[in-house]
């Protein structure tokens, strides 16, 4: 036993003489950090780093099977899912790992922002971190493309459509993005190159630079309200804090990083096992147009924004806002490199994070439900509730047929079924008079197409008579007061009977 | 292994050698030093020149997809015009003119053909003018609807409602020996729509909205 350990020591010494890593590693591991940074709030950066390596590892495993060719990629994914033993699990690990990585990177960013960690002397650490975030999102998008299915295909179409709006060089940029005139073999090859070589290479270099600076500049101390950062004195104050009230980074702070990283990897594995891999959905055949493309979870908010923006604001918004946002993140450490770090005295920072988080949540929730999209099969698959047609006249029944057959249901729900693009019509008769409905159907307006050319007069008549019956039991349909006055005066001379006092003898079909 | 035991001596020797060389350089006569620096700079210059020369073909290779729109398009057939009944809109398919053997299904492209007379056609791109999603044709209501953000177009391709700023992209078409042909080859987007929106020459189409 003793001989064995002696041999081990000698082997270690042999390597150490040549590598000479002991010094730097000891320096990095044992450097003192302020005691209160050994906190569970400080574990997200290391978890993101760990997830990066999980992604590299599972990515290499997938590359053993995956074929980066537009003709074969989809097939190879299905073989991974169904034929290779546990291929589905490796795909699920990679997919869930990517979701976790985006989430953890964002949490890490919010944490260092709220803790003022971007201030002097850690400005460059923050800037490198911004690029790491962009690369992480780039990996998420290119990875979604490699899952070469219908969503990937039409997602690329959306990307190309956005890029085409760049003034002057938009067309050329689309060619560069797609590797040619259309989404095809060349496109998948270049996204494979980006996802497997270019971005991961940069990601690793930037991540090591990021960690290097954390080691050299020290972990950001726990911010105390009133302890302001001053360029002239900060380094000295930090060193004083780290040495008088500090602990060695390993194991003092590092054990929490280790535990959290392990827990995150375990969570990825549990999600992968329980929920399985993402897709692939239908094959990437552009002649199959019965598809409802949707981006992955973390890009759903963009999808929502693009549906709610007024058309004239869309191009400026999608071209300028991302650049402004990135520029703001890059300029932040120079704008506020000194001063207060504590979130207790930075209400704007807290509000900004809260606003972005709530906004993101709401937009993502809307993107999941897509109330702006027509339900393409509602007209033929969602039957009208029977009570709507109870005791209906033949004209009203005919109107109900028109309502279904002309795809009105794709955008208007009745009885909770149908599209949500337009208003629900359960009580439309209480909101619009029959003349207003006729006008709306014929000439459209807002987000409603004009049906004047597509419906015959008798169809329109039947349709509005059907709509006229859609009102709650106790609520009479809306009527046009002046119209009724005219009708009343025609049947009875105004001197005999005041118009307002007559019972509603309004014709449903004037 | 045993030879390693003696290495400290040789290390020391090397270190003193380096140290003395450094002392020599710093204390040396400036002419020698400047000559070495000149050679160093010359080395950088050689590499920069080689790099520049290499950058030209590399950039040419990287930018090769960036071509004029017309170099990608050509006339492709959608089949006999008899396949398109008068007054109706039909989904048609063609193979993209520029293909690679590993494109698989992705180089099949769909479009909508509307026949408006004996030799009058409109050929619409499948891609919504908003963000390129595939629009669906509903013959009952005579509307194209987009599943992504709810853009809707009339039968003539003009914008009906929703986020698109303009009507559907259209292809130029011609009839050759009873065969309907369109000028196609690249994904229609707002940046190349000027080429794809057919305003006057072959069809007498009205200009699309927007």
Please state, in angstroms and as integers, the Cα–Cα distance from residue A505 to each residue in A22, A354, A396, following that order: 97, 56, 19
pLDDT along chain B (210 residues), means of 10: 44 54 58 81 97 96 89 91 93 92 92 93 93 93 91 91 89 93 90 54 39
Chains A–B, number of C-beta pairs less than 8 Å apart: 209
- Mutation pick from B127, B168, B186, B187 vs chain A, by most beta carbons of A within 10 Å, is B187
Task: Label residue A60 exposed, middle or buried (CB < 10 Å: 0-12, 13-18, 19+).
Answer: exposed
pLDDT at B30: 62
For testing the chain A interface, which of B104, B138, B152 should be mutated: the one with the most A CBs within 10 Å? B104
B125 with B76, same domain: the answer is yes
- The pLDDT of residue B22 is 57
Please list, residue by residue across A452-482, b when 16 or more beta carbons sit within 10 angstroms of its beta carbon and e when fewer do. Answer: eebbeeebbbbbbbbbbbbbeeeeebbbeee
Residue B31 lies in a domain: yes
Structural domain including B29 reads 2-62
Q: Does B72 touch chain A (CB under 8 A)?
A: yes
CA distance A150 to A95: 17
- Burial classification of residue A391, based on how many CB atoms lie within 10 Å of its CB (0-12 exposed, 13-18 middle, 19 or more buried): exposed
Q: Check whether residue B27 and residue B128 sit in a common domain.
A: no
Same domain, B82 and B44: no
B159 to A318, A324, B155, B169: CA distances (angstroms) = 22, 31, 9, 11
- Position B82 scores a pLDDT of 92
User: Which value, in Å, is the radius of gyration of the alpha carbons in chain A?
Assistant: 32
Would you call A454 and B160 a contact, using CB atoms and an 8 Å cutoff?
no
Q: Using CA atoms, how far apart are residues A424 and A378, in angstroms rounded to an integer?
A: 13
Q: Where are the domains of chain A?
A: 27-369, 378-478
- Same domain (yes/no): B169, B100: yes
Do B178 and B90 fall within a single domain? yes
Is B164 contained in some domain? yes
Residues B48, B100 within the same domain: no
Which pLDDT belongs to residue B17? 55
Q: Contact, B184 vs B108, CB < 8 A?
A: no
Sign for the CA dihedral angle at A378, B161, A454, B127 comes to negative
Which of A183, A289, A447 is opposite residue B110, by nearest beta carbon? A289
Shortest distance between the Cα of B120 and any Cα of chain A, in A, equals 20
- Per CB-CB distance under 8 Å, the chain A contacts of B161 are 444, 446-449
Residues in Cβ contact with B3 at an 8 Å cutoff, skipping those fewer than 6 apart: none
How many Å apart are CA A178 and CA A156, to the nearest integer? 8
In a domain, B202, yes or no: no
**In angstroms, what separates the C-alpha of B34 from chain A's closest C-alpha?**
34
Q: Is the same domain home to B109 and B184?
A: yes
Cβ of B104 within 8 Å of Cβ of A174? The answer is no
Q: Give the domain-ending residue among B62, B87, B113.
A: B62
Structural domains of chain B, count: 2
B206 within a domain of the structure (yes/no): no
Strands (E), A9-75: 32-34
β-sheet with B170-171: strand ranges across: B89-95, B108-117, B120-125, B170-171
When CB atoms are compared, the residue of B65, B134, B146 closest to A176 is B65
In a domain, B205, yes or no: no
Buried b vs exposed e over A262-272: b needs ≥16 C-beta within 10 Å? eebbeebbebb
Please indicate, yes or no, whether residues B55 and B127 belong to a single structural domain of this protein. no
Q: Flag if A449 and B154 touch (Cβ within 8 Å).
A: yes
CB B113 within 8 A of CB B123: yes
Indicate yes or no: CB of B148 within 8 angstroms of CB of A292: yes
Q: Is residue B119 part of a domain?
A: yes
Residue B172 within any structural domain of the chain: yes
Distance in angstroms (rounded) separating the CA atoms of residues B105 and A467: 45
Q: Per the CB < 8 Å rule, is B150 touching A374? A: yes
B109 has a chain A CB within 8 A of its CB: yes
Predicted confidence (pLDDT) per residue in B69-118, tens digit: 788 889 999 999 999 999 999 999 999 998 899 999 999 999 999 999 98
Q: What is the pLDDT of residue B31?
A: 63
- pLDDT for A445: 80
pLDDT in tens, chain A (510 residues): 789 999 999 999 999 999 999 999 999 999 999 998 989 999 999 999 999 999 999 999 999 999 999 999 999 999 999 999 999 999 999 999 999 999 999 999 999 999 999 999 999 999 999 999 999 999 999 999 999 999 999 999 999 999 999 988 998 999 999 999 999 999 999 999 999 999 999 999 999 999 999 999 999 999 999 999 999 999 999 999 999 999 999 888 899 999 999 999 999 999 999 999 998 999 999 999 888 888 888 889 988 998 888 878 888 888 999 999 999 999 999 999 999 999 999 999 999 999 999 999 999 999 988 888 889 889 999 999 988 888 889 999 999 999 999 999 999 999 989 998 889 999 999 999 999 999 999 988 878 888 988 899 999 999 999 999 999 888 888 888 887 788 777 776 555 444 444 444 444 443
Question: Is the minimum CB–CB distance between B76 and chain A shorter than 8 Å?
Answer: no
Predicted local distance difference test score (pLDDT) of residue A307:
86
Spell out which residues of chain A touch residue B101, defining contact as CB-CB under 8 Å.
71, 185
Instruction: Please report residues of B whose CB lies closer than 8 A to that of A14.
Output: 1, 4
Classify A272 as helix, strand or coil: helix
Q: Residue B96's domain is classified under what CATH number?
A: 2.102.10.10
Q: CA B96, B99, B100 angle in degrees (round to 5)?
A: 155
Among B136, B148, B191, beta carbon nearest to A174: B191
- Fold for domain A27-369? Cytochrome Bc1 Complex; Chain C (1.20.810)
Q: Do B105 and A71 touch (CB under 8 A)?
A: yes
What is the per-residue pLDDT for A499? 43
Query: What pLDDT is stored for residue A510 in this prediction?
Result: 39
**Is the same domain home to B125 and B182?**
yes
| Distance (Å, whole) CA B194 – CA A164 | 12
Burial of A206 from C-beta contacts in 10 A (0-12 / 13-18 / 19+): middle
| Residue B45 in domain | yes
Q: Output the DSSP codes for A344-379.
A: GG-HHHHHHHHHHHHHHHHHHHHHHH-TTS--TTHH
Say whether both B82 and B52 belong to one domain: no
- The CATH T-level fold of domain A378-478 is Cytochrome Bc1 Complex; Chain D, domain 2 (1.10.760)
- Let me know whether B117 and B55 are in one domain: no
Q: Is B1 on the interface with A (CB under 8 A)?
A: yes
Q: Distance from A233 to chain B by nearest Cα, in Å?
A: 36
Are both B119 and B75 inside the same structural domain?
yes
Please judge whether B150 and A186 are an interchain contact, meaning their C-beta atoms are less than 8 angstroms apart: no
B139 has a chain A CB within 8 A of its CB: no
């Amino acid at each position: 036993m003793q001989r064995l350990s002696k041999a081990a020591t000698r082997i270690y010494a042999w390597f150490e003489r040549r590598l000479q890593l002991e010094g730097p590693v000891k320096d990095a591991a044992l450097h003192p950090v302020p005691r209160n940074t050994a906190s569970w709030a400080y574990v997200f950066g290391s978890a993101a780093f760990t997830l990066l390596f999980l992604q590299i590892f599972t990515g290499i495993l997938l590359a053993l099977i995956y074929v980066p060719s537009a003709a074969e990629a989809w097939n190879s994914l299905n073989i991974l899912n169904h034929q290779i033993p546990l291929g589905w699990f490796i795909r699920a690990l990679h997919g869930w790992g990517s979701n976790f990585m985006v989430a953890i990177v964002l949490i890490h960013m919010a944490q260092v922002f709220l803790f003022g960690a971007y201030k002097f002397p850690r400005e460059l650490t923050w800037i490198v971190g911004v690029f790491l975030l962009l690369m992480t999102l780039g990996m998420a998008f290119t990875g979604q493309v490699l899952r070469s299915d219908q969503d990937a295909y039409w997602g690329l179409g959306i990307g190309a459509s956005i890029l085409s709006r760049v003034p002057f060089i938009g067309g050329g940029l689309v060619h560069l993005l797609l590797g040619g005139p259309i989404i095809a073999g060349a496109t998948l090859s270049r996204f494979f190159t980006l996802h497997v070589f270019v971005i991961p290479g940069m990601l690793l270099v930037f991540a090591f630079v990021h960690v290097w600076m954390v080691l050299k500049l020290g972990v950001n101390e726990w911010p105390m309200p009133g302890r302001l950062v001053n360029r002239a004195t900060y380094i000295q104050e930090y060193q004083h804090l780290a040495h008088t009230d500090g602990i060695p980074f390993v194991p003092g702070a590092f054990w929490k990083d280790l535990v959290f990283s392990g827990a995150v990897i375990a969570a990825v594995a549990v999600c992968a096992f329980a929920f399985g891999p993402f897709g692939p959905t239908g094959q990437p055949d552009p002649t199959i147009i019965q598809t409802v493309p949707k981006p992955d979870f973390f890009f759903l908010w963009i999808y929502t924004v693009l549906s709610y923006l007024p058309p004239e604001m869309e191009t400026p918004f999608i071209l300028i806002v991302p650049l402004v946002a990135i520029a703001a993140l890059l300029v932040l450490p120079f704008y506020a490199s000194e001063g207060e770090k504590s979130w207790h005295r930075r209400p704007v920072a807290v509000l900004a994070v809260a606003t972005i988080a709530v906004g993101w949540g709401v937009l993502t929730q809307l993107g999941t439900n897509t109330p702006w999209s027509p339900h393409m099969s509602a007209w033929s698959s969602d039957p009208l509730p029977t009570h709507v047609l109870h005791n209906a006249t033949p004209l009203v029944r005919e109107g109900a047929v028109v309502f279904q057959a002309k795809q009105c249901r794709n955008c208007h729900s009745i009885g909770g079924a149908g599209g949500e693009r337009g208003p629900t019509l359960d009580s439309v008769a209480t909101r619009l008079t029959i003349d207003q409905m006729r006008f709306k159907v014929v000439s459209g307006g807002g987000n409603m197409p004009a049906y004047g050319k597509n419906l015959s007069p008798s169809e329109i008549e039947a349709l509005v008579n059907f709509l006229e019956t859609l009102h709650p039991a106790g609520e009479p349909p809306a009527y046009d007061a002046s119209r009724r006055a005219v009708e009343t005066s025609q049947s009875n001379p105004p001197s005999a009977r005041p118009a307002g006092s007559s019972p509603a003898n309004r014709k449903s079909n004037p | 292994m045993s030879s390693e035991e003696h290495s400290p001596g040789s290390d020391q020797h090397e270190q003193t050698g380096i140290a003395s060389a450094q002392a020599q350089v710093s204390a040396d006569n400036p002419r020698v030093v400047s000559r070495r620096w000149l050679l160093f700079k010359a080395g950088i210059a050689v590499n920069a020149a080689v790099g520049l020369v290499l950058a030209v073909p590399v950039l040419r290779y990287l930018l090769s997809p960036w071509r004029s729109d017309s170099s990608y398009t050509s006339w492709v057939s959608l089949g006999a015009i008899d396949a398109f009944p008068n007054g109706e809109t039909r989904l048609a398919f063609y193979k993209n003119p520029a293909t690679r053997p590993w494109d698989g299904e992705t180089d099949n492209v769909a479009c909508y053909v509307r026949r408006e007379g004996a030799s009058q056609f409109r050929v619409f791109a499948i891609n919504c003018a908003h963000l390129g999603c595939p629009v669906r044709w509903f013959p009952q209501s005579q509307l194209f609807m987009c599943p992504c953000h709810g853009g809707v177009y009339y039968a003539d391709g003009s914008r009906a409602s929703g986020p698109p700023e303009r009507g559907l992209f259209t292809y130029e078409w011609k009839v050759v020996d009873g065969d309907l042909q369109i000028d196609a080859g690249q994904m229609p987007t707002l940046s190349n729509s000027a080429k794809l929106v057919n305003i006057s020459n072959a069809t007498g189409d009205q200009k699309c909205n927007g």
